[in-house]
Amino acid sequence: MKISTAIIFTTSTVCCATAFADTQDIKASNNQVSVQFISTDVNYTETGNGRLGTTIGTLDTEKGTVPGGALTLSVMRNLWLGDDYLQFQFSRNSGNTDYTGALQSGGSYGSLVGQSGATMTDFSGRYGKGFELSNNVMITPYGELAHHKWQRNVNEGETYTNSYFGIGALAQFSPVQHLVLSANALLGETFGSHIDVAGPNSFSGALGNSGLYKIGLSADYAFTKNLHGNVGVDYTSFKYGISSEYPIGNSIYWEPDSTTKYTTVSVGIGYAF
């Protein structure tokens, strides 16, 4: 009898918790300012295409985990279309990556290894509209505009910048009261890709743009009405296209094609309003 009573009580508790879960928890999670500790795994690869008889294939790579922080503000209010969603985010990472490559004077990939300083700065803003699919599920299509800057401390220093625009969707589910699970996907296009190379062989010029995609998962839990905790992971992939040629002295320099992949893990605390 005691076991039966315990089972009935546990089942009733879970059912009640699920019953109380609704889109109000989702909207509460979407109205907050939060501070996060972030850790970004960098996976960068430069690839040569044989221009002017140079190497074909991998030229150099940068891999490693770079710590940082982020500040996020999100708002869901009936502003224009109803359940309007706005999000603004700033993040900055600073640390070191493991460099594998070769000297500019010659050598094959892997003949030079070391550490390279890396600082990444990102700004983003998005606008969307939420749609309630059920009493505890909401989907929010949105548009996003962002800017990325990577200060790479190889050689005398190189700075890569680009912006991107894209469309995406945020799917949110509240399985029990206070808990919101989110899945996010975005398809976009970079623009304004650019490089600045410092030092005696310095040059500055445009890079090719590319498609960009992001996917992510996150969870938000309301410890109290105002105090929230959140965790998440996001994956981003895009490319920089080869630059023009720049004659400097008796040599010609350019920036080769490259692929950038970021995996960012975040843990934070937020204030809901």
Q: Name every residue whose Cβ is closer than 8 Å to that of residue 6 and which is 6 or more positions away in sequence.
A: none
Cα separation values, 102 from 60, 63, 151, 200, 204, Å: 7, 15, 20, 19, 22
Q: Which residue has the higher pLDDT, 155 or 188?
A: 188
Q: Where are the domains of the chain?
A: 23-272
pLDDT digit string, tens, across residues 17-56: 344 567 999 999 999 999 999 999 999 999 999 999 899 9
pTM of the model: 0.89
Instruction: Say whether domain 23-272 belongs to CATH 3.40.50.300.
Output: no
Residue 12 is predicted with a pLDDT of: 37
- The yes-or-no verdict on residue 14 having pLDDT over 50 is no
- The yes-or-no verdict on residue 230 having pLDDT over 90 is yes
Residue 37 structure tokens: 């500790």
Tell me the pLDDT band of 10, cut-offs 50, 70 and 90.
very low
What's the whole-number mean pLDDT along residues 154-177? 96
Residue 38 is predicted with a pLDDT of: 98
Residue 155 is predicted with a pLDDT of: 85
Mean pLDDT check: name the lowest of 11-15, 166-170, 183-187, 269-273.
11-15
